[in-house]
């Protein structure tokens, strides 16, 4: 097996957990609906989020009260469900930022030593 196949299997694992972090970061900048979120994440991070990943994840965040959502209907177009970050979500996001920064620094040091 070549390293490309190995990487293809590794990348989704690498993203696990990271996705929650990225979604909360994006939500911090304002309310957004699911489909647009996937497009934005792809644009910002080159990460393609499958819808089968995104919607269950958003529901998990909602279950844990990190986000809220409500339907928004317009005269034209299909209804959209907009998500907002909650105070608990902001608090959690702050801790994630700390964890992320610490882990990055550790790994960065290891990368530099090589």
Partner DNA sequence: CCTTGCTACCTTGTATTGCTAGGTATGCTA
Partner DNA sequence: TAGCATACCTAGCAATACAAGGTAGCAAGG
Interface residue list for DNA (CB under 7 A): 9, 12-13, 15-17, 19-20, 33-36, 49-53, 55-60, 76-81
DSSP code at position 77: S
50-79 mask for its own copies (x: CB under 8 A)? --------------xxx-------------
We find the least distance from the C-beta atom of residue 6 to DNA, in angstroms, to be 10
**Parallel, antiparallel or unpaired: strands 67-72 and 32-33:** unpaired
DSSP for residue 47: -
Q: Give yes or no for a contact between 27 and 88, defined as CB atoms under 8 angstroms apart.
A: no
Residue whose CB is less far from DNA, 75 or 105: 75
Applying CB under 8 A, the span of 31-39, 41-49, 72-80 interacting with its own copies comes to 41-49
Alpha-carbon span 54 to 67, nearest angstrom: 14
Residue 32 has a CB neighbour count (10 Å cut-off) of 19
- Output the six-digit token pair for 76: 């034209």
Residues that bind its own copies (CB under 8 A): 1-4, 6-7, 10-18, 20-22, 25-26, 28-29, 44-47, 64-66, 88, 91-92, 95-97, 99-100, 102-104, 106-107, 109-111, 113-114
């Amino acid at each position: 097996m070549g390293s490309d196949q190995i990487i293809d299997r590794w990348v989704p694992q690498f993203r696990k957990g990271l996705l929650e972090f990225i979604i909360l970061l994006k939500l911090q900048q304002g309310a957004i609906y699911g489909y647009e979120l996937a497009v934005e994440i792809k644009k910002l991070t080159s990460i393609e989020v499958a819808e089968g990943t995104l919607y269950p994840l958003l529901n998990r965040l909602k279950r844990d009260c990190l986000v809220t959502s409500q339907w928004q209907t317009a005269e034209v177009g299909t209804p959209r469900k907009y998500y907002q970050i909650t105070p608990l979500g902001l608090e959690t996001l702050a801790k994630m930022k700390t964890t992320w920064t610490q882990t990055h620094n550790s790994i960065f040091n290891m990368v530099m030593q090589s």
